[in-house]
Amino acid sequence: MVVRMLAECAGMGGNLLLDIGPRSDGTIPDEDVAVLRGLGRWTNKNAEALYGSVAGLPPGYFYGATTLNKATDILYIFCFDRPNGQVAVKGIRNEITRVSVVGGPQLTSKKIGGAKWLNMPGVLWIDVPEAALDPDATVIKIEMKGALDLATEPKKQD
């Protein structure tokens, strides 16, 4: 739950403050220690997707939290649940150079659909094998050629 709150907060460009503090004798409750250790394990593994990142995709492009590196040429998507098949990301016009799990293996992916003559990209489908999943949240790193170029809906004519 805390990992999800942190990822969602980072995906909106925010910071998370936990209400954990010591008792009057200076000790930290065991329950809080367990939360902090679990969060520490996950943030150490996925630091590049969190520290120095900026808000990710707007709603509707990926159903979950996302962040971007400062150059906006690397997109991080957070999968909180075990994917049922492939993971889909819509609207990326950029050429995808590499897709991988942060701190893990390279993944296979392909873009399907779209209309090149209208400069509308297809949907990026990413295969995530069971062995690559993190028990708390899997972070997928999408490396792109150039800064993120995201397709938007055409403006309606009056």
The Cβ-side half-sphere exposure at 55, using a 13 Å CA radius, reads 7
Question: In this predicted model, what pLDDT tens digit does every residue of 5-40 receive, in sequence order?
Answer: 888 988 888 888 888 888 899 999 999 899 889 889
DSSP structural state of residue 106: B
- This prediction has a pTM of 0.87
Give the model's pLDDT for residue 131.
87
Q: Which two tokens stand for residue 141?
A: 């790193």
Domain extent listing, the chain: 2-144
Q: Bigger pLDDT: 125 or 119?
A: 125
Interatomic CA distance for residues 139 and 143, integer angstroms: 13
Interatomic CA distance for residues 102 and 117, integer angstroms: 34
Instruction: Match 């990926």 to its residue by tokens.
Output: 62
Question: In this predicted model, what pLDDT tens digit does every residue of 76-123 receive, in sequence order?
Answer: 999 998 877 799 999 999 999 999 999 889 999 999 887 777 778 889
Give the model's pLDDT for residue 155.
45
Q: 2-144: CATH homologous superfamily? A: Golgi alpha-mannosidase II (2.60.40.1180)
